[in-house]
A and B are shown apart, each in its own frame.
Chain A
Amino acid sequence: MEKRLLPAANSLMNRARQFIPIGLLALLLGLLAWLLNRADSPIGHTHGPGETHANEVRVSRRSGKSITDTGIQWPSREKLWRTLTLADYNTRVVFAGVTALGAAGGLVGTFLLLRKRSLLSDTVSHCTLPGIALAFLIGESMGISGRSLPLLLFGATVTGVLGMMSVAAIRAKSRIKDDAALAIVLSVFFGLGIALLVVIQQLPTGNAAGLAHFIYGKAASMTAGDARLIFFASVAVALVCAALFKEFKLLCFDTDFARTQGWPTLALDLALMGLVVAVTVIGLQAVGLLLVVALLIVPAAAARFWSHRLGVTMLLASLIGAISGLVGVAASALFPKLPAGAVIVLSSVLCFSVSFFFGAKRGLLVRWLDQRRVAARVARQHLLRALYEWCESQALQHLGDPLQLLDRPVPIAELRQANHWNLARLTRLLRLGAAEGLIIWNPDSHACHLSAEGKLEARRVTRNHRLWETYLLHYADVAPQHIHHNADQIEHVIEPNIVNELEELLAGREGGALVPADPEKTTSANSDTPS
């Protein structure tokens, strides 16, 4: 009964564990949705976005008179309070929208990063400009207001997809490399967009001021409707990511395996690229097309420093994206002159820098400490083996008792000479060894000897070294002159199960000695070297 239940419970647990990141994400989104609806009060609604904006402008103009030479004014305390407590409905919606956008960008960006296509998002975002301009032109000539957001975003989506497909086509059908294909599509589409924008500015109804928002973003002054659109689109993107989590994971880590298993890899790839276009297009308004690429690249790259697990990385990426979005909107609500997109990007770049140095898994500091730890271990093991070998040579020379082999005090000077170590390094090593209790050494004396623990460790290390040397000599046909250096590298990382295998393999040769004799010496003494 129990035996049958246990695997079932285990697999259930495993499946549940997979859903933890998704569940947490859902929690985050639910919180945001609650925030969005918390006080959908009539006051909030009548208090239109235009009005608040006009207020802000008036305030800043009044207080800005005296300090015209600095572009940024400090907000009044009342405004600071109102922004931080999310007192205005509009602020609340914009906060929720941009936060959700940052989270969605982090999710999609992680997959994009693992597919090594991060810069594709840069190209896609530049490619949206001609679409926006064309949509505006077509809208104007058909009598619809060219500034209707769905129309412009539709145009952006069309050329974004077109640009992405151009990159794929150039990559597949010519010998142009990846990066050049990206740069070609980016510059040509963006050039077309600028050419169209200049034309639009000359139209009588033109005034491309509304379109300029798409280039630099205008997070803080978005209307509630726009922000709500961003929010729900971001939630949709996040849900698609969650639903296709397993498929995308396989696509990112082993496309060929996915294909042989019968997954529609091409369709999945297209779906992922579609999500990239979606995040880019909905991010245009908030961050601007020049910086929307950062939403997709930076949080994902930052999160990679913290975990090797995909789910955790994605969750962190979306968290970093969300926080950056929050900071950016808050800053641009408090300082209307600050470009929101730039603040969003800078805060995520700040997260990236912190992760770069202090990330728990790939951070510079952690890896540096790891390297130091390994280097210290290697040096310690070299010292122990040197001590062992010295004792061994003495025992051979003076025919001492083999059981008392390792009890001899080893003179430091001879140790130095035999291994060509410099004194400072040797002293440091000895001090470390003494601190760890492997060696008994008095700094004033000229000799040291192994402790009980050190003897065991020295024997083990020397044994591993020689086992590997013997193996190389007899099975890998490596010349005796070369085995020592090779074994020097491998002895530190050799695993116990491999040691067991080596023992079995070499059992007949060394007569089961506790530590086999140094094969380098025995073979060079014999002069006939096996080939």
Chain B
Amino acid sequence: MNWTELDTWIVITGVLVCLACALPGAFLMLNRQSMLGDGISHAVLPGLAIAFLLTHSRDILPMVVGAVVAGVLTAVLTQAVQRFGQVESGAALGVVFCGLFATGLILIRVASDRVDLDADCVLYGSIETAVVDVARVPRVALISGGLFLVNALLTVLFYKELRLAAFDPALATTLGFNADAIRLGLTLVASVTTVLAFESVGSILVIAMLVVPAATASLLTSNLSRLLVTAMLFAAASAVLGHIGAITLPGFAGRLLGHPGLGATSSAAMMAVTAGILFLLVWVFSMWRDSHGRPQRSTPT
């Protein structure tokens, strides 16, 4: 294993992105909106494409604005289709994000001669090339750090409201917090997070990190604050282990299969896979504990 400064930056960026996603992801999970992350990550495509077509540039600002509009549009349209069309929520989300994603694909293809935008880069991301930067601290690391700080701050500030809206929206509304507004705000934060994170790590990592660490933590604890901390621990662990896996595993497997000299694979993808493996381990552990151990409640690792 050949660890360079680049690897350090990849891990730092990865950890920051994962932490930034895990916080809103936990509340999405509690609101039973986990698939919204998947929907948004597909649906931002037309927003990006339109932003490109209008500005002819890859500046971060118009891109973020376009994507956030598309992300919020996904959530609002899904709600509208569900409520006014009496369509089941899953199907409503499916219709909306499929439509938006297809629009985005066509727009990108139509504009492909003018704009250097590839659907692949949206979907897979490339943390490896993103950290190659002229500055001493790569731009993506700064963005991810800022994103994490903002999300952490918002979580702390609106902890009470978010918790109330997640567990008892009716009570929240009677107490004078508009549960719908809080959920919309959460959707907004999730869209911004998805968009800012996709640039560096791609949508797979975003979807995985929105849901998997929170779900893993929920197997271990029922206490919300502990759940958030545990989820962040799992997110960070997946990022570190994922990158190590990405640079070591292909070479290892390649030697076994007779293809020596295989390089690293996608770090973002391996981070998602690692999160899945951690989930599997914790799941097996929790099943074992339920059947053998004393009935314990909420013991975070």
Contact, CB under 8 Å: A198 / B266: yes
Which B residues touch A117, using CB under 8 A?
90
| Smallest CB separation, B61 vs chain A (Å) | 25
| Smallest CB separation, A114 vs chain B (Å) | 9
Interface string of B241-260 (1 = CB under 8 A from A): 00000100010011001110
* Cβ of A69 under 8 Å from chain B: yes
Interface string of B80-120 (1 = CB under 8 A from A): 01001111101111110011011101100111111000010
Which of A72, A297, A349 is the most central at the interface, judged by chain B CB atoms within 10 Å of its CB?
A297
Contact, CB under 8 Å: B269 / A339: no
Given known contacts A173-B287, A195-B270, A290-B42, is B98 in contact with A184 (CB within 8 Å)?
no
Contact, CB under 8 Å: A342 / B105: yes
Given known contacts A191-B273, A352-B95, is B90 in contact with A119 (CB within 8 Å)?
yes
* Cβ of A304 under 8 Å from chain B: yes
Which of A137, A195, A216, A301 has a CB less than 8 Å from the CB of B119? A216
Which A residues touch B93, using CB under 8 A?
119
Interface string of B18-43 (1 = CB under 8 A from A): 00000000000100111101100010
B259 nearest CB neighbor, chain A only? A203
Bound CA span A183–B214, Å: 12
- What does DSSP make chain A's interface, helix, strand, loop or mixed? helix
A120 nearest CB neighbor, chain B only? B90
Which of B110, B214, B269, B275 is the most central at the interface, judged by chain A CB atoms within 10 Å of its CB?
B269
Which of A69, A188, A290, A352 has a CB less than 8 Å from the CB of B276? A188
Which of A118, A122, A188, A291 has a CB less than 8 Å from the CB of B102? A291
Contact, CB under 8 Å: B211 / A184: yes
Stretch at the interface among A55-63, A174-182, A461-469: A174-182
Give the bracket for the number of chain B residues in contact with chain A.
35 or more
| Smallest CB separation, A295 vs chain B (Å) | 9
Given known contacts A183-B38, A188-B273, A364-B85, is B265 in contact with A297 (CB within 8 Å)?
no
* Cβ of B204 under 8 Å from chain A: yes
Which of A179, A199, A341 has a CB less than 8 Å from the CB of B265? A199
* Cβ of B166 under 8 Å from chain A: no
Bound CA span A343–B110, Å: 12
| Smallest CB separation, A276 vs chain B (Å) | 13
Contact, CB under 8 Å: B38 / A122: yes
Contact, CB under 8 Å: B38 / A202: no
B96 nearest CB neighbor, chain A only? A349
- What does DSSP make chain B's interface, helix, strand, loop or mixed? helix
* Cβ of B146 under 8 Å from chain A: no
- Which chain A residues (297-341) contact chain B, with CB distance < 8 Å? 297-298, 300-301, 304-305, 337-339, 341
Bound CA span A113–B90, Å: 9
* Cβ of A345 under 8 Å from chain B: yes
Contact, CB under 8 Å: B113 / A191: no
* Cβ of A71 under 8 Å from chain B: yes
B119 nearest CB neighbor, chain A only? A216
- Which chain A residues (142-191) contact chain B, with CB distance < 8 Å? 170, 173-184, 186-191
Contact, CB under 8 Å: A298 / B95: yes
Contact, CB under 8 Å: A339 / B113: no
| Smallest CB separation, B37 vs chain A (Å) | 6
- Which chain B residues (268-295) contact chain A, with CB distance < 8 Å? 268-273, 275-276, 279, 283, 286-287
Contact, CB under 8 Å: A293 / B98: yes
Residue contacts A-B, CB under 8 angstroms, 13 given:
A69-B114, A113-B88, A121-B94, A141-B257, A184-B276, A188-B276, A191-B271, A193-B269, A198-B266, A198-B269, A290-B101, A294-B99, A342-B106
Chain B residues at the A interface, C-beta cutoff of 8 Å = 29, 32-35, 37-38, 42, 81, 84-88, 90-95, 98-99, 101-103, 105-106, 109-114, 119, 123-124, 202, 204-205, 207-208, 210-212, 214-215, 218-219, 246, 250, 253-254, 257-259, 262-263, 265-266, 268-273, 275-276, 279, 283, 286-287
Chain A residues at the B interface, C-beta cutoff of 8 Å = 68-72, 113, 116-119, 121-122, 137, 141, 170, 173-184, 186-196, 198-199, 202-204, 215-216, 290-291, 293-294, 297-298, 300-301, 304-305, 337-339, 341-343, 345-346, 349, 352, 356, 362, 364
